[in-house]
Copies of this chain bind each other. A is one copy, B any other.
């Protein structure tokens, strides 16, 4: 119940109550919470006060709201997956080694003129064409990372045919007899963009780890530029020296 004599604001008290109800299992993951009106009458506070409490809990990632449907308990953060990054590593094997099930989906692809930073990273001329692949990778069926992969069209002839029946990037490279190596990776922490929140199915306020990589072939030809976006609450990336 709300302590009306406490110096703690009602909405903070209510937040604490909801948190405890979740911890105690009275409210379970994915389950609908009482409506704002129900909270309001149950705890004898104004609906706006309830909204303030729920709003804060949503921003904290504890709850989420669906307009017209109700408010729900968010999924608890998943187990951290340690992803070992090395010059030569493949997502599928990497995840399998940690005893989990990898997955890969091509969400979209197109051929475009290379954006500036891509052309720069791969040493392309300004008007060169690149393929852009939007790839989603899953771990145990859950979205793990979303990446935009840029491949220079000029260096990979007939790529369109290979992309058609996409299974994984490795398969495509194998078809060309290539086994690319990482040249450089850049790590950043930020919030996800719109595309990334949609692809990873995460709230916009969840921090993500962005990793920008450049890969080359065994002949030192730059062959891939990619920006990967990892769920901050899901992934940690390790590097051995």
Residues of A contacting B: mostly: strand
By a CB distance below 8 angstroms, the chain B residues around A183 are: 240-241
User: Would A230 and B184 count as touching, CB distance under 8 A?
Assistant: no
- Given A189-B189, A190-B207, CB of A184 within 8 Å of CB of B232: no
- Cβ 8 A contact of A241, one of B184, B189, B208, B235: B184
A94 within 8 A of B: no
By a CB distance below 8 angstroms, the chain B residues around A240 are: 183-184
Complex CA gap A134/B185 in Å reads 28
The residue on B at minimum CB distance from A211 is B187
Complex CA gap A236/B211 in Å reads 10
Instruction: Pick the most buried of A59, A183, A187, A209: most chain B CB atoms within 10 A of its CB.
Output: A187
Shortest CB distance A78–B (Å): 14
Complex CA gap A239/B187 in Å reads 8
Interface range, A side: 20 to 34
Instruction: Pick the most buried of A190, A209, A238, A239: most chain B CB atoms within 10 A of its CB.
Output: A239
A181 within 8 A of B: yes
- Cβ 8 A contact of A189, one of B181, B207, B238: B207
By a CB distance below 8 angstroms, the chain B residues around A115 are: none
Complex CA gap A126/B78 in Å reads 29
- Other 7 A-B pairs with CB < 8 A, given A87-B241, A187-B187, A189-B230: A85-B239, A186-B236, A187-B236, A187-B239, A188-B237, A190-B207, A190-B232
**Which 4 residue pairs of A and B lie closest in terms of their CB atoms, listed nearest first?**
A207-B207, A189-B232, A189-B209, A189-B189
Could you list which residues of chain A lie within 8 angstroms of chain B, going by C-beta atoms? 59, 80, 82, 85-87, 181-191, 205, 207-210, 230, 232-233, 235-241
